[in-house]
Amino acid sequence: MTRVEILKLYRVNSSGIIVESGKFDGAPVYTPHFLEQYLAGYSINDEEDYADLVITDDDRAEFPELGTDCSLVRLSVDAFGFVCCDLVQMQQTEFDFEEADSAKDA
């Protein structure tokens, strides 16, 4: 899901936070994008409480607010059904990012 698609579906404030009632209320603008990626099978893990997804160069181009300090997003759902999306730092040696990028592009 692109930024344009998200902005057509949800109200987003000037800080990049979705302010629309529903499961993304209070989440960063890129949350629906990463949920879509997760549902397409692009997570590098699928723990009971969360799933991690690699932030690619394409993701950073579409959502510059992701910055360059973090390499993963962690998706979870809270007790009220809201989707949460947190940025996570990870050592590059722990995961093959090129493999993840090529799998995502396939």
Whole-prediction pTM value? 0.81
- How many structural domains does the chain have? 1
Provide the residue range defining the domain that includes 14: 3-105
- Tens digits of per-residue pLDDT, 67-83? 998 999 999 999 999 99
* Lowest-pLDDT range of 3-7, 9-13, 45-49, 50-54: 45-49
DSSP 55-90: PPHHHHHH-GGG-SS--EEEEEE-TTS-EEEEEE--
What is the model's pLDDT at position 97? Answer: 55
Angle formed at CA 72 by CA 69 and CA 73, multiple of 5 degrees: 110
What is the model's pLDDT at position 46? Answer: 79
Chain centroid, CA 81 distance in Å: 17
Instruction: Compute the average pLDDT of residues 74-97.
Output: 80
Residue 10 has pLDDT above 80, yes or no: yes
Give the sheet arrangement for strand 83-88, strand by strand: 51-54, 72-77, 83-88
What is the model's pLDDT at position 93? Answer: 37
DSSP conformational letter for 15 = T
